[in-house]
Structure formats: structure tokens, C-alpha cells
Amino acid sequence: METGPESPVREALRLAWPATLSLLLNAAYRVNDQWWIQDLGPDAQAALGVTTFYLILNFGLFSLLTAGTLARIARHTGARDRAGVRRVWRSTLTLAVIWLGTLAVLGSTLSDRLVVLSGAHGEVRALAAGYLRTIYLVVPLIAWKPVVDAVFIGLGNTFVPMLLSGLAVGLNFVLNPILIFGWFGLPALGVEGAALATGLSRGIAGLAGTVMLARWFHLPPRLGVPADRREVLTLLRIGAPVSLSTSAYALVFLTVLKTSVEPLGRDVQAGLGVAFNGLESLSYCGMMGPAIAASSLVGRRLGAGDPLGARRGFTACMTASCGFAALTMLAFLVVPRGLAGLFTDDPRVLEQAALYLGVVAWSQVATAADGVLQQSLAGAGRTLAMSSLNLGGYVLRIPLARFLSMTQGWGAAGVWWALNLSNYLKLVAMILLFRRLRLFAAPPQRAPA
């Protein structure tokens, strides 16, 4: 019989399903964009494929705020320290204003150069630059919802982020065709309309979440209140390694696009966009929902001095994530062309998308296990060594992809197998790190006075 008000396993399941659904709803942005822009042709699909990893880079940069916020609020919530929660919130607000404003200015200014670095040419380059420039102009709106979500998850509430994601995706579904094709007398903005729809829909959802935090948890967004300097430094200490790691993932993939994918042509670029944006992003969300639940549960249980409960919740999250990944693996292996055919009818693009799915199917379970391990460490605030391992695993992809695709003559399959191999190696290293840190070890007992 459980001694606490809620068993760790029950808590893991309660947190995991809304987190999974929330991530699936967030991934629906990419699916929605791929669905609507397919009528604009393969060049537009390739443009979204090229910019995908800049969007991931952006979320890596957002992690400078979200990772530390989630971990610190979870720790204070577990310890029942309401003053500490408010202190983190004030510090997050100050960091957000500075950091997101800087990203908006730099990103919109450098968009053309960033697209060139990704290896895009001709019409694909022009479309990608316009899309990315618009994304950066509205990046504060896009980023604010993940920050609000991190606060709710740290408080132990994954249900509200799910509702906010549903609101954002619903708005995006309505705004996408209006802005892309110029309905109701508005100008047709093409792929730039998809970017603007993303910013507006996420911004409205983030504002709604801010109002909920103020009314339900007494966390009003008071920018005039000075941030706590020590708390700001703690947020940066936790968030910076995660931000670097996630950003490195995107930067490495962009390098792989330039050095290994670009020589293979537009059809491979478009196939990657269809398979990654339209399909693998959905499987990733199903795996990461339980992982996010683990970050909240582990952080709060450790904050409450309950390492055994943290371990049991971690195990439940790992089981759920790997189970979902096994189903995804089966689908990618059995019906890759049928899945890819939902987003393209171009036979060459379809062939490349199916090839990608058939290869990456073999690393789905490894990705799931790695995600739960990493999110558990992040929830506990132990991010430095974890992020260092990630960085090494990602960088390995650059020479490995080039070697398998070009030197060995495997073509696109060699690039995708390079991703698999790096995932396997990274998982082994993460397991060894997790065991060395002994995250769930019981705290030492004090000697009686």
C-alpha cells in the first residue's frame, strides 16, 4: 500500500498522458504546415525541410529559460516553498525579456545567411529565407508558451499545457490557410503566412497561460520587480548546458544537411522534410511525453526527500516511453510508404521519405530510453555532464554521415544510419552516467545528537 497521497506510478501516468498529447498537439504545427504547403509544390516542402533544424535550434535556445525554470520550480514545489516558486518566476521573466528580444533581432537580421549555410539553392533558398525571417520576427510570441508550459510542469500540472497546446493548434489550423493562400481578401503570404500563423497562435496561447498562472497560482507577470541574482545564475547554470546540447543537435544536423544531404539533391531534402516534420515528429512526441512527466516527477519527489518515489515514477515513465517507441518502430517498418503518402504524391519524394522512415525505425526505442534518462537528470538539475555527452554524440554524426553516404556509397541511407549509430552510442554513455550519478540514492542519515 502506498504511503503518500498519490503513488509514484499513478502520478507518472497522470502526468504522462497530458504531456504526450500536448507534444503531439505541438507537433501538429509541422504536420499542419506540411499539409497546407504541399499545394505550393516540392520547393516549398523542401524549404520547410531546410528550416526545420533552425526551428529546433530556436527551441534549444529557448531551453536556456525553460530547463532551469522547470527544474527549480519543481524542486521548490516539492519542498512546499511558495516563496521560492515566486522568486524563480520573477527571475524567468527578467531573463525572457532580454534573451527573446536578442534572438528576435539577431535571427531576423541573419535569416538569409542562415539559409545559405543550410545548403539551400534557388527557389528553395528564397522560400526558406522568407519563412525563417518571419519566424524570428515573432519568436518572442513563439517562445513564451514553452516558458509558461515549463512553469506549469514544474508545479506538477501537465493538463493546462495540453489545453493551451490544443488552443494554439486550433488557432494555427484556422490561420494557416487564411494567411498562406490569402483568404477573406488578405494577401497570400505563402510559406511566410505559415510562419506568421505559428507566431500568432502560440502567442495567444502563451498569454492565456500567463493569465492562468496569475489567477490560479498567484504568479502575476510583474516585470518591475527585480530578479533575484542568485536565482538567475542558478537558472543559467541548469539551462545553459541543455540549451547548448539542443542547439548543438540542430547545428550538427544543419552541418549534415550541408555536407551530406545537399549533394544528394532536392528530392532527399523534401523527403526528409516530409518524414521528419510530418511523421517522426509525432513519434518523438509520443516518446517524450513520459520523459517530460519524469522530469516533473523526479524534480518534485527529490525536492520532497522521496528518492524511492522518484525511482518508481522514473521506471513507469521509461516503460511507457519505450513501449510507444516499439509501436512506432513497427509502423515505420511495415507501412513507410503509406505513412509518407499522407503528405506527398511526388513519387521521388515519397521514395526518399519512406527510406528515411525505414532506417530510423531501428533507433526509436533507443531514442525513447535516452529521452527519459535525460529528462530525469534535467528535472533533478543535473545537466552539465548529460549535455556534454549529447554534444559528443551529435558531433560524431558529421564525419560518420559523410563517411557512410559518400565514401561507402550508401547515399541517403548512409546519412540516416549515421543518426542511428550515434543514438546507440549516446544511449550507452547516458546509461553509464546515470548509474554513476546515483540520482535515486537515499540521502545520508544524520547521526543522533
Average per-residue pLDDT in the chain?
87
Domain boundaries, the chain: 8-435
Cell, residue 360: 530510423
Q: Tell me, what's the pLDDT at 447?
A: 46
pLDDT of residue 377: 94
Torsion angle defined by CA atoms of residues 257, 268, 129 and 60, in that order, rounded to the nearest 10 degrees: -50
User: What pLDDT does 205 receive?
Assistant: 95
318 pLDDT higher than 80: yes
Copy the grid coordinates of residue 306: 522521496
Positive or negative, the CA dihedral 214, 219, 221, 224 is positive
- DSSP letter string, 246-300: HHHHHHHHHHHIIIIIGGG-HHHHHHHHHHIIIIIHHHHHHHHHHHHHHHHHHHH
pLDDT per position as a tens digit, 37-53: 767 777 777 777 778 77
Whether residue 128 is predicted with pLDDT greater than 90 in this model: the reply is no
Which ranges in 345-411 belong to alpha helices (H)?
Answer: 347-360, 364-379, 384-402
Read off the pTM.
0.80
Model pLDDT for residues 321-342, shown as the tens digit of each residue: 999 999 999 999 999 999 988 8
Cβ contact 367:222 at 8 Å:
no
Cα three-residue angle 94-95-97, rounded to 5 degrees? 70
In this prediction, residue 3 carries a pLDDT of: 43
Tell me the HSE value of 266 on the side-chain side, using a 13 A CA sphere. Answer: 14
Q: Dihedrals φ, ψ of 226, to 5°?
A: -65, 145
**pLDDT tens digits, 267-315:** 887 888 788 876 887 788 889 989 999 999 998 999 888 999 999 999 9
**Residue 413: helix, strand or coil by DSSP?**
helix
For residue 176, pLDDT beyond 70: yes
pLDDT in tens, 84-100: 999 999 999 999 999 99
Other beta carbons less than 10 A from residue 410's beta carbon: 17
User: Which letter, b or e, does each residue of 90-103 get, where b requires 16 or more Cβ atoms within 10 Å of its Cβ?
Assistant: bbbbbbbeebbeeb
pLDDT band at 224 (very low <50, low <70, confident <90, very high): low
Q: Which residues contact 136 (CB under 8 A, 6 or more apart)?
A: 103, 104, 106, 107, 108, 111
Most confident of 64-78, 123-137, 419-433: 419-433
